[in-house]
Amino acid sequence: MSSPASTSHGYIKECQNNPTIDCSLYNINTTCDENGIYYPWAQEHCPLFCGFCQAPTVTIDCVDQLHNCDEYQRDLCTNSLYRLFREQNCRKYCRICKDFDFVPANSVFG
């Protein structure tokens, strides 16, 4: 994927989402579809979220942030409604990572 053209917004040049918008609240398939009506908006405001550019990465250990991930509902690891929760809290339990993982340097995990 190519990087979007630079604009006056610094978050585009540095492969960051617009800091005033929570891109994770949007449906990635609809918002980031290059044939969709939201594509121009997504390129400007959510380039990192949509994968239009590559952010620097850091290595993190594959561990759960919570000690009781196994006590949540069975679909914790598969239901799209819980994606952000499992990525932030139950990465090892849900087998999102192996011994270590590479994540964007400016993510909640880094």
Residue that is written with structure tokens 């690891």 in the block = 77
Position 102 pLDDT exceeds 50: yes
The pLDDT of residue 70 is 94
- Residues 103 and 58: beta-carbon distance below 8 Å: yes
Position 1 pLDDT exceeds 50: no
The pLDDT of residue 96 is 86
> Domain segments of the chain: what residues?
1-55, 56-110
> Three-class SS of residue 44?
helix
Neighbours of 33 (CB within 10 A): 14
- Residues 65 and 15: beta-carbon distance below 8 Å: no
C-alpha pair distances (Å), 97 with each of 48, 64, 106: 20, 10, 18
Single pTM value for the model: 0.45
The predicted-structure confidence for 38-73, as pLDDT tens digits, reads as follows: 999 999 999 989 999 877 766 777 889 999 999 999
Listed range (25-39, 41-55, 72-86, 91-105) with the worst mean pLDDT: 91-105
Residue 59 β-bridge partners? 102
Residue 42 φ then ψ, to 5°: -65, -40
C-alpha pair distances (Å), 35 with each of 5, 39, 51, 75: 18, 7, 15, 31
